[in-house]
Amino acid sequence: IYPIVALAVTAVVLLQITTPTSSFGLPPPERLRRLLQATDKGEAPILLLPCCYDGLTARLVGLSGFNATFMTGFGVSGANGYPD
């Protein structure tokens, strides 16, 4: 049995792609370089997304001031006692 952490502490950092020039079709190192440059300029902010496992943790995430959250299949099934 995997240990389940009931608190919404897990976080994932996402890069929001809002750059005016598309980087699709470029080699991965160049895409990463452009995304990191866009974050330095403030064009593509980095979002911190805490994980939620049920309605309660989603509510707590919202009350904590985060603009977004995410759910995982294992987190939801594990929190409810079901296998993944």
What per-residue confidence (pLDDT) applies to 2? 37
What pLDDT score was predicted for residue 22? 60
Q: What is the arithmetic mean of pLDDT over 66-80?
A: 89
The CA distance from 81 to 8, in Å, is: 17
Q: Which tokens hold the place of 49?
A: 């997304």
For the entire predicted model, the pTM comes to 0.51
Beta strand ranges found along the chain (DSSP E): 11-15, 46-50
Q: How far apart are CA 52 and CA 79, in angstroms?
A: 10
Distance in angstroms (rounded) separating the CA atoms of residues 43 and 82: 41
- Compute the average pLDDT of residues 18-41: 79
- Per the DSSP assignment, residues forming a β-bridge with 50 are 11
pLDDT above 70: percentage of residues in the chain = 73
